[in-house]
Structure 1
C-alpha cells in the first residue's frame, strides 16, 4: 500500500473498476450464522446454484498505523468529491434501533468485549483466526472510529498490547477537526443536524494465507458504505471495495491484530440498481443491525 500526498493512502476502488482476481483467490465464502429461530430470509424456494523505521516507530508499529489509518481512505475520497445530493427530503422516518445478531450452531463465539461489544473468545484454529479478522474489520471500519472514546476502546480491544499505544497516538492525530470538516462532519466528529453519518464495513469473504499455532495472516475481502445521508448532503453515501490483510497473534487466549495492511478492490462491475434516496438509506442504516461473523 502506498500513501498519497495527504498521508492517508490512495482512494479505494469503486464498483465498475478492474477486478482481476489475484493468483490463488479463494472463493470459499464467510458464513454468517443466524440467531436461533430466525428463518432463512430467502425461504425454501431459493433456487440451487452450481519495512524501515520512521517517525520514531518500529516497523511493526508503522505497518499497524498505516494499516488502520487507511481505513480513512474512503472518507477522504468522498470528502474531496463535491456536488451531488441525496434526493429525498425527509430524514425523520423510522428510527428503529440497529441490533447486532449473535451466531449460533456448533461452538459459537459467545464472548464479547465489555467496552465495545466486539466478539471475543475465538477458537485457537485457522477458522477462528478468520472469524476474528472478519469481526475486527467490521469494528475498524465502523462509525465508532470517528469518536475518540469509542475509537480508543476499539483499538485497545482488537490489537495486541504492544501495537495499540503507537496506533492510538497516530489515529488521534489523523482524526482531527480539519479532517472531520473535510468529511462533512462537525469538528467533534458528529453529523450535522438533519444528516446521518454512515460508515459500515461488510466482509464478503476471508482467506488465511499463513497459519501457525501462535500467528496467522488473514485477508478479508470487504465492501463498505461511507458518506452522509440526508437532504442537501454533498457527501452522499457511496460504496467501496477493499481487502484488509491482518497479521494476528494469539495473545491472552484470543486472536489480536499485531499489524495490518489494506489495498483497494477487487471491485465488481456496478449493477443497474437505482440509487436509494436519503430517507431510504437513513432508515436502512438505523434499522438493519450488523452481524457477528463466523468462518
Structure 2
C-alpha cells in the first residue's frame, strides 16, 4: 500500500488496464498470426513425428544396435557401451520402450534444433561485443524465468501438442550451447590467430579452419549441458501434450503411483547418463586431440 501511495500513477485500476492491454494484444496477435506460425513449424512437426515413428516401429534389437554403435563411436568405451545396452534392455523389459523412444525422439530433435540455432548465435557473439551485450541478457532471462511462464504464450499461439513442447524445451535448453560456443571461440589463443593472419587466412578460413576446431571441446560441453537441460524439461513438456516418459511421471504424480513414477524417472535418468557419458567422453577426446595433436 505504501508503494501505491508513493507512486499514485501505478494504481490498481491502471495496473489492471495495463495487464488487460497486454492480454488483449497477445490474443489479437495469436488470432492474426497463429495459423502462419503453425504452417511455419509444420515441417518440424512432420520430421519429429516421422523420427518418433521410426524409433517406435523399428525392431528393438536394431535400435539398440544402432545406439550401441553410436555410443561406441562417441565414447570409445566398452563399459559405457555395455551400460547403455543393458539400460535399454531393462527399459524394454519394464514395458517403457515406446515412451522412451518418444522421449528420445523429442530430445534428439530438440538438441539438433538447439545446435543449429545456438552455434551460429554463439559465433556471432564471439565476433561482436555489441551482439554479446544484446544476447547475454536474453540468455539470462531464458535461463532464469520459470518454465511455466513461457509455456503460456507458446500454448496460446500453437495450442497443445508436440511443437509447443519442442519449442518450450528448446527455449530452456539452448542457452548453454550459445554461451559455451561464444566462450570457446573467445578463448582461442591469440598467438594462433596471429599465425593464421601471418599466413594470409581470410576471416572465413580463420573461423572454420582455426577457431571452431579449437573451440570444439567447449562446444561439445555446451551440447552436453543442452541435452541435460532438455531432459530435465521432459516432465514439464508432458503437461502440454508431449508424449513420453514425462507423461507417465505426471500420471504417477496425479494418482500417487510410486512405482510408476520411480520406474519412468529412472528411465529418464538412464537416458541422461548415456547422453552425458558419451558427450563428455567425446569432448575429452577432442580436448586431448587439441593438446597432443593426435588421437
Higher helix share: 2
TM-score category by the smaller chain? under 0.3
TM-score normalised to structure 1 length: 0.25
Larger radius of gyration: 2
Looking at both structures, which has the greater relative contact order when contacts are Cα pairs under 8 Å and sequence separation is at least 6? 1
Q: Greater strand share, 1 or 2?
A: 1
Give me the TM-score of the superposition, normalised by structure 2: 0.25
